[in-house]
Amino acid sequence: MKRILRVMLGVFTAIGGFVDIGDLVTNAVVGSRFGVSLAWVVVVGVVGICVFAEMSGRVAAVSGRGTFDLVRERLGPRGGLLNLVGSVAVTLLTFIAEIGGIALAFELVSGVNYLLLVPFAAFAVWLILWRVKFSSMENTFGLAGLSLLVFAFAVWRLGPDWGELLQRAAHPAVPMGEGHPTYWYYAIALFGAAMTPYEVFFFSSGGVEEKWSRKDLRLERMNVFLGFPLGGLLSLSIMVCAALVMMPQGIEVNTLGQVGLPVAMALGKLGLAFALLGFVAATFGAACETGLSVGYSVAQFYGWQWGKFVSPVRASRFHLLILISTLLAVAVLLTTVDPIKVTEYSVVFSAVALPLTYFPILIVANDPDYMGASVNGRVANAIGMLYLVILTVASLAALPLMLITKAGQ
């Protein structure tokens, strides 16, 4: 049982990273408009996040230091500051989207307008980050988030033609009525949702919080290669559900409530209840991850005391930064900005910031001064360099495609 619980960091990261509000919405939108023709993007994203999460986790286990602590030292204050600003801006935008997602999930459960629930959701997140132990947080949300497996069960109950489904996924094509720029815009959005920067910040910092060392490298790899593929499976299940139910009827997903409709059709009220529990757990878990990641990044860069294993008094600036971020999220959401739109923009801007996030990790993972004998091997470097090229292309194409397609409309 202890071994299983120690793998929960990977599960928690996957639930809150792969299947946060961004993936819930983006995968459902893509499924309702493009079917499974973009399923390959999720596969590419799973491999990419596994490669870089393994690097960042290995760096944390070997060095015992957080990502941005090493980024500042390795790239210098100016180069590191550019990475910090870009990554924190995207993470903060994602944090705002996640708190909005919690409010939307509570609205589905209670029927109360989500705007009235935003302050409550934000306070609950802040209270958890301030008072709840790291292990309790990851175990609770990781296990509750597994409720989203109901989407995989729903796919089975919907009884698709598996041969035809695999054929469409293996031979992607742009559906009639959709243009190539829109197709590639959503491909980049899906890629950004799969490789959001905060995932590696949280995962590596969580490894430091749990005091990983060289002897924990096997555990670190188990977390990566079990947790993130699980997140990818859940993402694909959401996409396939929308493709089977929404696309044939010409229904485009515009709300969080619509994401759960295929589950309700396949499994009834009990299935929908599990889906709603998964929505709450995934958005709460992601909000905790992104809130902590804002604090982790800035505190590590400036050398402040940080972490949930440190008392709030000793890590006062770390916790103050999380509180300010939470208040800012409330202020933005109470302007009545649509949380779904914030979500859609956050995944695209995540794609823009990807090279800033992953390039320093690749550099540090190859530095023998930090890693000793645990530096990247040839295969890890080859895959890492390939993905760095893909990340750069996606980053350069994201904003032009957003403008050309009017954000996928």
The distance from CA 212 to its chain's CA centroid, rounded to whole angstroms, is 22
Domain ranges of the chain: 2-405
Q: Give 229's contacts (C-beta < 8 A, 6+ positions apart).
A: 14, 46, 50
Q: DSSP code of 314?
A: T
Among the residues of 64-113, which ranges form H helices? 67-110
Position 147: which residue type?
A: S
Per-residue pLDDT, 114? 92
Per-residue pLDDT, 18? 58
Let me know: does 207 contact 61? Beta carbons within 8 Å: yes
Position 371: which residue type?
A: M
Per-residue pLDDT, 377? 86
Per-residue pLDDT of the chain (409 residues; tens, 9 = 90+): 545 545 555 565 555 555 777 778 888 999 999 999 999 999 999 999 888 888 888 888 888 888 788 888 877 888 788 888 888 888 999 899 999 999 999 999 888 999 999 999 999 999 999 988 877 777 777 778 888 899 999 999 998 899 999 999 989 888 888 889 999 999 998 888 888 888 888 888 888 887 888 887 887 787 788 778 888 888 999 999 999 999 988 888 888 888 999 999 999 999 999 999 989 988 898 899 899 999 999 999 998 999 888 888 888 999 999 999 999 999 999 999 888 888 878 888 888 888 887 888 888 888 888 888 888 888 889 999 999 999 899 999 988 998 998 877 7
Per-residue pLDDT, 102? 93
Q: Give 254's contacts (C-beta < 8 A, 6+ positions apart).
A: 340
Domain range 2-405, CATH class: mainly alpha
Percent of the chain as helix, strand, coil, to the nearest 5: 85, 0, 15
Per-residue pLDDT, 230? 84
Per-residue pLDDT, 3? 52
Report how far residue 102's alpha carbon sits from residue 286's, in angstroms, rounded to the nearest whole number: 10
Let me know: does 114 contact 227? Beta carbons within 8 Å: no
